Amino acid sequence: MSASQRLDAHIAALGLDLDQAQRDKLLAYVALILKWNKVYNLTAIRDEAQAIDLHIADSLTLLPHVAAERLADIGAGAGLPGIVLAICRPDLQVELVDTVDKKCVFMRQAAGTLGLKNVAVHHTRVENFKPAAPFPVITSRAFAELADFVRWTEHLLAEGGHWLAMKGVYPSDEIARLPATVRVSESRPLQVPGLDAERHLIIIEKIAS
C-alpha cells in the first residue's frame, strides 16, 4: 500500500472530508518530518507508514472536536497535532508552543514550506507565553501530566474555553490529581485507524466560581 493509499484509507475510516490539496500537504509534512529526523531527531518514528499511523491519523482524531477559530498547541514538538489541524482547517489560527529550539525551527520551516499562513510558532516556556488574547481551546499530545498541563496553561484559557488533552490509556490517576478549580467535562475514547492501542481525549473546563 502506498503512503497516499494509506492516508486515504485512514481519512475514510475517520469519516473526514479533506480535499486533495490537504492530503498532499499531509504527505509533504510526513516527508519533512522524516527528512529532518535524520539530523534533528524530532520524533522516534523513522518509518513512513508508522508516521502516517502514529502521527497523522492520531492527530486527525482530534479534528472533529475542535470547533473554535483559535487554538494553542502546547509542547507541540514536531507540530503534532497543531500542524495537522492547521492543514485541515485553514480557518483555524494555530499557535504552536515549545521550549526546544530545533523543534521550533522545524515547525517554522514546515509551516513556510506548506504555505500555512494560519500557523505561528513560539519558542518559550508555556508559563512565560503571553499571547495577544486568550485561547478558546488549548491542546496537548502526550505533553505532561494533566494537573501540570492545566496549571501551566490556565492563564492562556479564554472565558468558557476548554482543554483538549490527548492521552493513551484512560488516565484515572491523573484525573484524580486535577486541581479543584477544574473538572473533566467529557472523556472520549479515540479510535485511531491502523493503531492497536488505547487513545483517549480528555476534555477539561474551569469550574464556574
Q: Is 126 annotated as a binding residue?
A: yes
pLDDT digits (tens, 9 = 90+) for 68-85: 999 999 999 999 999 999
Beta bridge partners of 183: 205
Domains of the chain: residue spans and CATH: 3-206 (3.40.50.150)
Q: Are 100 and 124 in contact (CB under 8 A)?
A: no
194 is in an annotated binding site: no
Please tell me the distance from the alpha carbon of residue 100 to that of residue 170, in angstroms, as a whole number.
28
Model pLDDT for residues 12-51, shown as the tens digit of each residue: 999 999 999 999 999 999 999 999 988 887 787 878 998 9
Was 80 annotated as part of a binding site?
yes
Q: How far apart are CA 15 and CA 150, in angstroms?
A: 31
127 is in an annotated binding site: yes
